[in-house]
């Protein structure tokens, strides 16, 4: 079983509250979402693994069991063309849980007219593969968001 921890601090809101139908409908996969604190911060790896996809606004880390976890920094943030995001690792890097992956500023994302809400999704998983999914309450980076069978 894999524990997936929060890549950032904020408030858990659950996927259904994400202002994007692809995420709120769990079309990408099950998981939860974080409404982040608004100060500049570093989004960290939610698991130990390898960075298999890396964009300024999103990254996927695959753990040793083959579980891919997507962290998406804000909604429609691809339209910002990387502005306000700083990559701290490279695709193919091995990272440890809690290691900084991207530096960003949720307040700047919001000021640019985008939602800073961050889905954290278990890729290629079924909803019943996840347990103890956190969908409300304050979250610190490194708090467990869900367990993946």
Query: Residue 142 maps to which CATH number?
Result: 2.70.70.10
Q: Average pLDDT for residues 28-34, to the nearest whole number?
A: 97
Catalytic residue flag (residue 72)? yes
59-72 burial: b if 16+ Cβ within 10 Å, else e: bbbbbeeebbbbbb
CA atoms of 75 and 57, how far apart (whole Å): 9
What local confidence, expressed as pLDDT, does residue 98 receive? 98
Question: What are the tens digits of pLDDT across the range 92-118?
Answer: 999 999 999 999 999 999 999 999 999
Strands (E), 66-127: 68-72, 85-87, 94-95, 100-104, 118-122
Q: Average pLDDT for residues 68-93, to the nearest whole number?
A: 96
Domains in the chain: how many in total?
1
Contacts of 63 (CB under 8 A, 6+ apart): 2, 47, 48, 49, 69
Please say whether the dihedral angle defined by the alpha carbons of residues 58, 41, 145 and 79, taken in this order, is positive or negative: negative
What local confidence, expressed as pLDDT, does residue 69 receive? 98
Length of the chain: 149
**Structural domain span for residue 30:** 2-148
Q: Average pLDDT for residues 63-79, to the nearest whole number?
A: 97
CA atoms of 89 and 66, how far apart (whole Å): 20
Q: How many Cα atoms within 13 Å fall on the side-chain side of residue 51?
A: 23
What local confidence, expressed as pLDDT, does residue 81 receive? 93
Catalytic one among 55, 57, 67, 72? 72
Which tokens hold the place of 39? 């100060």
Overall pTM > 0.95:
yes
């Amino acid at each position: 079983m894999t524990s997936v921890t929060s890549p950032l601090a904020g408030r858990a809101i659950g996927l259904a509250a994400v202002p994007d139908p692809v995420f709120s409908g769990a079309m990408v996969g099950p998981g939860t979402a974080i409404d982040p604190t608004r100060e500049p911060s570093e989004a960290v790896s939610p698991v130990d693994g390898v960075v298999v996809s890396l964009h300024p606004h999103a990254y996927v880390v695959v753990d040793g069991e083959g579980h891919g976890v997507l962290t998406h920094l804000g909604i429609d943030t691809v339209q910002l063309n990387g502005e306000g995001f700083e990559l701290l690792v490279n695709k193919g890097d091995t990272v440890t849980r809690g290691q900084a992956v991207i530096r960003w500023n949720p307040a700047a994302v919001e000021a640019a007219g985008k939602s800073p809400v961050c889905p954290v999704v278990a890729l290629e998983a079924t909803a019943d593969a996840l347990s103890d999914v956190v969908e409300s309450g304050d979250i610190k980076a490194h708090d467990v968001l869900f367990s993946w069978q």
